[in-house]
């Protein structure tokens, strides 16, 4: 199942339309895109509060907590498997693949 999803995703990313879009998003546009995402998130929270009648409050401590916990989880799940793989003998690791 995972192989099927990988092949579909790679097929999608190889289409000329998607490659054209990804080629236009370069490093000089990345800060602008990041700013747009932040504005949309805060705007979405404001609009949700206006429509639902509930008051939404985004505290800076919750932003730091979310960023810190996601960075910690990402660092652990990136470092631990890489460390385990570095300890293996390459021949033995390829034998069981």
Q: Is the dihedral of CA 88, 91, 96, 97 positive or negative?
A: positive
Asked if residues 19 and 13 have their Cβ atoms less than 8 Å apart, the reply is: yes
Task: Find the length of the chain.
Answer: 97
- pTM value is 0.43
Is 25 in contact with 15 (CB distance < 8 Å)?
no
Residue 97 has pLDDT above 60, yes or no: no
Sign of CA dihedral 44, 45, 47, 52: positive
CA dist., res. 32 & res. 84, Å (int) = 38
d(CA 62, CA 64): 5
pLDDT digit string, tens, across residues 16-69: 776 677 666 666 677 777 788 888 888 888 888 888 888 777 788 988 999 999
């Amino acid at each position: 199942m995972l192989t099927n999803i990988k092949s579909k995703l790679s097929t999608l990313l190889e289409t000329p339309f998607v490659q054209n879009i990804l080629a236009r998003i370069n490093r000089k546009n990345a800060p602008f895109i990041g700013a747009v995402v932040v504005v949309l998130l805060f705007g979405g929270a404001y609009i949700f509060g206006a429509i639902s009648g509930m008051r939404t409050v985004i505290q800076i401590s919750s932003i730091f907590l979310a960023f810190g916990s996601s960075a910690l989880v990402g660092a652990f799940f990136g470092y631990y498997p890489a460390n385990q793989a570095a300890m293996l003998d390459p021949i033995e690791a390829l034998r069981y693949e």
